[in-house]
Amino acid sequence: MKHSTPSQLRHWMTHFVIAIASLIAFSAQAAQVEATVSKNIVAVNEVFQLEISIDSNVNPDSLALSALDKDFTYGRPSVSSNSSYINGVVSRTTQWRLAVAAKAVGTFTIPAFRIGATESEPISIQVLKSANSQASANDPKIKLSSKLEKQSLYVGESTKLTVKILIAEQIDQAALVAPKAEGIDIIQLGDDKQAERILNGRRYIEITRQYQLTPQQAGNIVLSGAEFKTNLVRGSRGFGSTLSIPFSKQTDDITLNVKAKPSNYQGLWLPTTDLQLDQNWQPEITTSEFKVGEPITRIITLRIKHVAQSNMPNINIDYPRSVRVYDEKPVYGERDGYTSMMIKQVIIPRTAGELTLPPLKINWWDTNTNQQQTTTVDGITVKVLEGDNSNNVQLPVLDDSQVAPATQVEQPPAEVKIVKDAGMWPWLTAIMTSLWLLTLGMWFKARQRNPLSQSQDTATKAKPTIAQSDEAKIAQLIDAVNHEQTMQVQTLFKQLDRNAYQDDYLVQLEQAINQMMAAHYGQQPKEWDKQTLLSLLAAAKENKQSSANKQVLASLVPEKTQGKPNKR
């Protein structure tokens, strides 16, 4: 067997390396980049297909498309890789397909795309204006309209603008920009409403949005229309991708004729087409007699059309000084173009006699007739009697900025009756007195035998505690203070067991509650810090144990030192 010499091996290795290098060079030379389009004469925003391929297996990220940004919009490319084996030859291909549309009219160039060492040829694209038939086919199926309820109005009067969008396109990232105008307050009313609508045989999605417009100055004011912005999702069969084309459309501008307040108008300026004022009483006024301290609730409801909540009036009624009035916070609502405000007033008579609760009058300007109107709800006159309790006295009349403190009622002297015939009562009284003295003597002897245990037991029995019902009331008081439910606070405070608390603590608690009532219902309401009252209520639960311990120690110490001489 003949063996190869080292020189022969080197010869064969050299030929092998040359062959491999030749194959690699041939493969690199064969990897060519090609770019083609489905059409090179198109209309503006007309979608066509761009296809880029290389006869090699490469990374899908090897293709950069940023060169298209200037003149074209395009979608996300669809990438595919294929391999085939034919007649002993292996071929591989990587292909990108994407949808493209031109942005403007003119002649534009799709630039060359470089992948590795090779690049494609540039392609010229001619972009034309669409013909009428083509334009109708390519125009986006989006319609935008607006309707103003009232174009001529007064300063401070509100009107409603309704914007509707009809969409029969696939869109992405849509937004509606509100109309704009100098000197007009514009707010959105509620949420958008969405429904389906068929127009000329085509199905649309209808979106409705409403705005409230309130001019703050007189004159002719131009309202810039609302603008709808979105991206149209476009593509074509076989393209393998879609693209987003920016789209925007605006409603027509509207000129508003805003009139100034008439110079002869009297009262708070309230321009509207309709104002409604109602009231009811609780309890219902079925009698003309009430008692001192018996609450009368007056509920007033005001409804004004085309007026923003911020322009609703403050209702102030001049009540007589013989009553205390507590106003709850107004409750607002919106319905059928009306803004409503409900006010609840609790009126408490403080003195007996005839009481007149005044009517309420509101002036407003009727924008339909251009005349001033006055709407009124009647007052009532009732007779206030003394309360059922014979010990009841008239409450003092205080300044409106104060809150009436609790009134200490003095008990009248007991009535003395003269009995002419005592009968058996003196004997019964003597027997009861003897039994009482006997019991007292027995208790005194038992106390002397065990003074320490007796003292401890007495102290334990005398230990003040919070009743379970009072603990619940204190928890309710804390909750009512946190929610600023002033009437509830006052009611719960009056229900507390006064015997379970120290006098100075009750005085502090009552002062804090009076400050709360004055801050909320005084003639000049002011800010109120609820932390002081909350701290006092928390001390009602925590302070009881420490107070009880002090009383136990105070009773024990004297007992242990009793009878010992004082050291000097």
User: What is the residue-averaged pLDDT of the chain?
Assistant: 76
What proportion of the chain, given as a percentage, has pLDDT over 70? Answer: 70
Assess whether 335 and 280 both reside in one domain: yes
Q: Helix crossing, 468-482 with 486-494: angle to 10°?
A: 160
**80, 114, 136 — which closes off a domain?**
136
pLDDT value at position 311? 84
Q: Tell me: do 247 and 154 sit in the same domain.
A: yes
Domain that holds residue 370: 271-385
Q: Pick the residue with more confidence: 181 or 240?
A: 181
Same domain, 254 and 147: yes
Task: List beta partners, residue 290.
Answer: 384
Record the tokens describing residue 17, joined without a space.
């390396």
Mean pLDDT highest for which of 69-83, 279-293, 384-398, 463-477? 69-83
* pLDDT mean over 401-410: 34
**Within-domain flag for 5:** no
Using CB atoms within 10 Å of the CB of residue 271, give its burial: 0 to 12 exposed, 13 to 18 middle, 19+ buried.
Answer: buried
- Residue that wins the pLDDT comparison between 510 and 381: 381
pTM (predicted TM-score): 0.53
- Do 131 and 77 have their domain in common? yes
Residue 126, domain member (yes or no): yes
419 in a structural domain: no
Domain membership flag for residue 18: no
CA dist., res. 102 & res. 126, Å (int): 9
Does one domain contain both 201 and 172? Answer: yes
Q: Give the residue from 259, 288, 321 where a domain finishes.
A: 259
- The answer to whether residues 242 and 348 belong to one domain is no
549 found inside a domain: yes
Look at residue 403 and tell me whether its pLDDT is greater than 80: no
pLDDT at residue number 109? 93
Domain containing residue 97: CATH number: 2.60.40
Contact by Cβ (8 Å): 111, 137: no
Q: What is the pLDDT of residues 450-475, one digit of tens each?
A: 443 443 444 333 333 444 467 788 88
Does the pLDDT at position 494 exceed 70?
yes
Nearest-angstrom CA–CA distance, 519 and 529: 9
Q: Identify the sign of the CA torsion 190, 192, 194, 199.
A: positive
C-alpha–C-alpha distance, residues 419 and 415, integer Å: 13
Integer Cα distance of 178 and 312 in angstroms: 24
Mean pLDDT of 341-361: 93
Q: Return the minimum-mean-pLDDT range out of 339-343, 522-526, 561-565.
A: 561-565
Mean pLDDT for the stretch of residues 329-341: 90
Q: What is the DSSP string of 370-435?
A: TEEEEEEE--EEEEEEPPSSTT--PPPP--TTS-PPPPPPPPPPPPP---S--TTHHHHHHHHHHH
Tally of structural domains, the chain: 4
Q: Are the CB atoms for 249 and 213 separated by under 8 Å?
A: no
Amino acid letter at 390? S
Q: Are residues 131 and 146 in the same domain?
A: no
- Dihedral sign computed on CA atoms, order 212, 216, 222, 227: negative
Q: Checking DSSP bridges between strand 275-282 and strand 296-305, what pairing results, if any?
A: antiparallel
Token representation of residue 234:
């476009």
Q: How far is CA 521 from CA 235, 324, 327, 400, 526, in A?
A: 68, 9, 7, 8, 9
Whether 15 is covered by a domain: the verdict is no
More confident residue, 443 or 124: 124
Which pLDDT value is given to residue 222?
A: 96
Secondary structure, 3-state, 4-23: CCHHHHHHHHHHHHHHHHHH
Judgement on whether residues 253 and 150 belong to the same structural domain of the protein: yes
Write down which residue in 356, 385, 414 finishes a domain.
385
**In terms of domains, do 40 and 95 share one?**
yes
| Residue positions counted in the chain | 568
Residue 194 placed within a domain: yes
The larger pLDDT score, comparing residue 409 to residue 167, is at 167
Are 209 and 275 part of one and the same domain?
A: no
CATH code at 255? 2.60.40.740
393 within a domain of the structure (yes/no): no
Number of H helices, E strands in the chain: 8, 31
Predicted confidence at residue 484, as pLDDT, reads 78
Tell me: do 250 and 147 sit in the same domain.
yes
Do 229 and 125 belong together in one domain? no
Burial level of 403, CB count in 10 A (0-12/13-18/19+)? buried
